[in-house]
């Protein structure tokens, strides 16, 4: 039986109040201990509250990380979630360390003057400020964006797009975002609208295909030569949705972003039953995280990267998550390396800044 109420999307919004209450109470009791110096038991009580608060903060942090895996986030919300997560990380481990210091002051050092307890109290106020920032960013997610009070489904996280174009090619949207949906003449538009960084369109042998489920799509038939192509402007924080099908394809398809050149980019790759999130830098590959996934049928891929946070989704599920220093802004595209057939219905790129 789940301990999460039916009206809550996950348990994190219920847990977060405990570290706030415990840590603020600890600071208040600690202040009282400085004023009422003849009540040494107050300082020990504050220490216990700090320890309990640190434990509650750890629980809140990891329930928050777990909650993140159940949400399909709109592009413009990702940066707010990243800021909240960063503050939560700093605050949690600050109080874990600080609680250890408090235990030493209360039960090992036992200072005889007010100087050390007063200094420790002031350091604790730094943590209270960090706690405030964490809560403030979390409150913004709840009250400004509705995150944490309702489930965000895959469909709700997708913005409304313009109708399918009468002519082929990239449709430019606001603030550098764009969408490309293959139509009948798109093999030619593919060559014209995209920049080819690794080999060219001839190595994909593209053709128009009518899929029984999706209708008109683009078929690409690589034959063992890696092909990389990108489109649109250079973007920093970016979220990319790609709908594709690996029809007898043996290899890997990468959503590439922050592309600097054919040897340096961030990527989210699927193929051969695996999903991999990582970075290629000067031809050297680093994997942030990888996971086994089902790659049969049509796949809805989502890749996000910005402010040091990277996520990869398959069919609405967060499967990989990583952190790294950002590359400079760069365009978005695909890298296809293998043999067989890849069908592409849509590529939608959103500037997430």
What is the model's pLDDT at position 248? 86
What is the model's pLDDT at position 193? 87
Does residue 292 carry a pLDDT above 90?
A: yes
3-state secondary structure of 7: coil
3-state secondary structure of 77: helix
Q: What DSSP letter does each residue of 93-120 carry, written as one string?
A: HHHHHHHHHHHHIIIII--SSSHHHHHH
Q: What are the two backbone dihedrals, phi and then psi, of residue 10, each rounded to the nearest 5 degrees?
A: -160, 175
Rounded distance between C-alpha atoms, residue 172 and residue 123, angstroms: 51
Q: What are the two backbone dihedrals, phi and then psi, of residue 271, each rounded to the nearest 5 degrees?
A: 155, 150
The better pLDDT of the pair 353, 5 is held by 353
Task: Using pLDDT thresholds of 50, 70 and 90, give the confidence band for residue 151.
Answer: low
Instruction: Round to the nearest angstrom and report the end-to-end CA distance of the chain.
Output: 40
Phi/psi class of residue 336: alpha, beta or left (left: φ > 0; alpha: ψ in -120 to 50)?
beta
H-only helix segments in the chain: 12-15, 17-35, 40-68, 78-104, 115-145, 186-193
Query: To the nearest whole number, what is the mean pLDDT of the chain?
Result: 86
pLDDT digits (tens, 9 = 90+) for 103-148: 887 887 776 667 677 888 899 999 999 999 999 888 887 776 666 5
Residue 290's Cβ-side half-sphere holds a number of Cα atoms within 13 Å equal to: 14
What is the model's pLDDT at position 66? 78
Task: Using pLDDT thresholds of 50, 70 and 90, give the confidence band for residue 235.
Answer: very high
Question: Strand pairing of 317-323 and 207-211?
Answer: unpaired
**CATH 3.40.50.2300 assigned to 170-351:** no
What is the model's pLDDT at position 1? 46
pLDDT digits (tens, 9 = 90+) for 315-326: 999 999 999 999
What is the model's pLDDT at position 70? 65
The b-or-e profile of 270-284 (16+ CB within 10 A means b, else e) is bbeeebbbbbbeeee
Q: What are the two backbone dihedrals, phi and then psi, of residue 244, each rounded to the nearest 5 degrees?
A: -145, 170
Closest to 123 in 3D by CA, of 227, 264, 265, 27? 27
What is the model's pLDDT at position 166? 52
pLDDT digits (tens, 9 = 90+) for 165-217: 555 678 888 889 999 987 655 677 788 889 999 999 999 999 888 889 988 88
Question: Strand pairing of 170-172 and 215-220?
Answer: unpaired
Closest to 19 in 3D by CA, of 46, 48, 59? 59
CA dihedral 76, 298, 214, 248 (to 10 degrees): 140
Is 296 exposed, middle or buried (CB count within 10 Å of its CB: 0-12, 13-18, 19+)?
exposed
Tokens of 329: 């802004």
Rounded distance between C-alpha atoms, residue 57 and residue 96, angstroms: 9
Q: What is the 3-state secondary structure (H, E, C) of 266-308?
A: EEEEEECCEEEEEEEECCEEEEEEEEECCCCCEEEEEEEEECC
What is the model's pLDDT at position 152? 53
The length of the chain in residues reads 353
CA 59 from centroid of its chain's CA atoms: 20
What is the model's pLDDT at position 149? 55
Tokens of 350: 């959103």
What is the model's pLDDT at position 124? 92
């Amino acid at each position: 039986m789940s301990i999460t109420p039916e009206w809550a999307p996950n348990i994190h919004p219920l847990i977060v109040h405990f570290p706030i209450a415990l840590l603020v109470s600890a600071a208040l009791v600690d202040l009282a201990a400085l004023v009422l110096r003849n009540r040494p038991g107050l300082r020990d009580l504050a220490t216990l509250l700090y320890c309990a608060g640190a434990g509650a903060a750890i629980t809140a942090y990891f329930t928050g990380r777990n909650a993140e895996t159940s949400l399909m986030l709109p592009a413009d919300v990702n940066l707010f979630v990243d800021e909240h997560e960063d503050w939560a990380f700093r605050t949690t481990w600050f109080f874990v360390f600080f609680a250890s210091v408090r235990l030493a002051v209360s039960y090992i050092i036992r200072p005889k003057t007010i100087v050390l307890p007063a200094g420790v109290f002031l350091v604790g106020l730094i943590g209270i400020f960090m706690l405030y920032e964490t809560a403030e960013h979390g409150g913004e997610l709840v009250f400004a964006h509705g995150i944490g009070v309702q489930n965000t489904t895959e469909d709700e996280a997708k913005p409304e797009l313009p109708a399918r174009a009468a002519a082929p090619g990239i449709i430019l949207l606001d603030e550098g975002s764009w969408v490309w949906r293959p139509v009948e003449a798109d093999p030619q538009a593919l060559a014209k609208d995209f920049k080819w960084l690794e080999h060219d369109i001839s190595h994909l042998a593209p053709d128009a295909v009518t899929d029984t489920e999706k209708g008109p799509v683009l078929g690409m038939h690589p034959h063992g030569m890696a092909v990389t192509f990108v489109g649109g402007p250079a973007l920093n924080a970016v979220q990319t949705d790609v709908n594709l099908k690996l029809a007898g394809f043996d290899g890997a398809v990468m959503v590439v972003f922050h592309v600097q050149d054919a040897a340096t980019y961030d990527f989210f790759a699927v193929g051969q039953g695996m999903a991999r999130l990582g970075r290629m830098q000067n031809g050297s590959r680093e994997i942030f995280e990888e996971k086994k996934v089902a790659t049969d049928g049509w796949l809805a891929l989502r890749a996000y990267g910005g402010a040091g946070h990277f996520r990869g989704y398959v069919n609405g599920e967060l499967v990989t998550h990583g952190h790294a220093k950002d590359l400079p802004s760069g365009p978005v595209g695909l890298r296809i390396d293998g043999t067989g057939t890849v069908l592409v219905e849509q590529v939608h790129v959103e500037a997430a800044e």
